[in-house]
A = this chain, B = another copy of it.
C-alpha cells in the first residue's frame, strides 16, 4: 500500500467545488477519484489540503490517497493525465510516508485573491478575477492587512458563525500588492515582483487554517479600505468587535486561488 501525494491546479469555473457530493454535481474530488478508478480499478478516497468552494481555483492544491496499484510512481503523472478533463492539471505525483495526511499535516496554506483594478474590463480574465473599478490605495490596504497578522479570534471574518469549533486562527502573513495578472495566474511562487503593467491587485493570506469565506471577507473589507470607505484602524476595530456585520462584503468566489500548501519536510519525504 502506497500513500501518494498529488500537486494539482484547476480552473474552478465549472466545478461545484472540491468536495464530492451526492447528486449530479461536478466536483474536483469526484473527477479525480473517477480518473484514479479508471486507471487502477480501485475505489479511492482522496484527501485534500483545502476544500475549495464552488468557483474557487487552485494553483497548488495538495491531495493524497492510498493505492495498491503497481504503477511506478514516475508513471502516474502521465497515466492519470489521460483520464482527466482539461480543467484539472496534475503538476506532480510523489510517494509520501504513511503518516502524511493532506488535510491535517499542513503547517500553513496560502491563498491569493485577484482583483482586476483596471478601468477596462478584462474580457479574457473575467473568470479569474473580481473587477473593482475605483483605483485602490494599496498602501492603505497593506497597512490595514497588517492589523490582522497574528493569532486572533477571526469570527468577524467568518460566514456561518457560530460554528462548533473555535474561530481562533493564526495569520502568518498578508500581502497586498499590484502586479501584472499573468505572473499571478501562472507562478507558484508567492509575491513575485513583476515589472510592466500593474492593473491587478492581489491579496495574499497565509494562515494555519481558514474559516468559512475568511479570505473573501478579508478581501471585501480591505477593498473598502482601498476605496477610502474604511481606515486601517477600522479594520482593527472590526477584528476586535467579533461580529461579522462589522466587516465588508464577501468578495466573489471566482477571484480566489489556493496557491500553496506548506507541510513539514519530514512528513513529505520518504
Residues of A within 8 A of B (CB): 9-11, 57, 86-87, 89, 121-128, 180-182, 185-186, 194-197
Check if A86 sits within 8 Å of B126, measured CB to CB: yes
Check if A123 sits within 8 Å of B196, measured CB to CB: no
Q: 9 tightest A-B contacts by CB?
A: A182-B182, A124-B185, A11-B123, A89-B121, A9-B123, A89-B123, A124-B128, A86-B126, A11-B124
21 A-B residue pairs with Cβ-Cβ distance under 8 Å, sorted by A, are: A9-B123, A10-B123, A11-B123, A11-B124, A11-B126, A57-B124, A86-B121, A86-B126, A87-B123, A89-B121, A122-B186, A124-B125, A124-B127, A124-B185, A124-B186, A181-B182, A182-B182, A182-B197, A194-B196, A195-B196, A196-B196
Q: Which of A87, A182, A194 neighbours the largest number of chain B CB atoms within 10 Å of its CB?
A: A182
* Cα(A9)–Cα(B122), bound, Å: 10
Q: Chain B nearest CB: distance from A43 CB in Å? A: 27
